[in-house]
Amino acid sequence: MFSKNDPDSLILKNVIRVEDLNEPIEIVELILKKIDKITIMELYEIAEFTTCNEFLASVARKRGKLIKVK
């Protein structure tokens, strides 16, 4: 899917350090593109999501890292 020197491939293979990325959320977006949505939802036991930010918020809420504000 990715060429050997493709930046996305290098990120997913941890050749490029997360600390060196301008936008670390890119990694999450790449992973969400590569893995079936149903599999991710079952793995993290979360409801359906449509965006990367919704996914991250759901995971954070599930793990008690994000509190719902009234």
| pLDDT tens digit sequence for 4-62 | 667 777 667 666 777 777 887 888 998 899 899 999 999 999 999 999 999 999 999 99
* CA–CA distance, 29 with 52 (Å, rounded to integer): 6
Whether 30 and 55 map to the same domain: the answer is no
Indicate whether 1 belongs to any domain. Answer: yes
Whether 30 and 41 map to the same domain: the answer is no
Indicate whether 70 belongs to any domain. Answer: no
Indicate whether 48 belongs to any domain. Answer: yes
| pTM reported for the whole predicted model | 0.72
Indicate whether 15 belongs to any domain. Answer: yes
Which residues does 4 contact at the CB level (< 8 Å), separation at least 6?
none
Indicate whether 55 belongs to any domain. Answer: yes
Boundaries of domain holding 21: 1-34
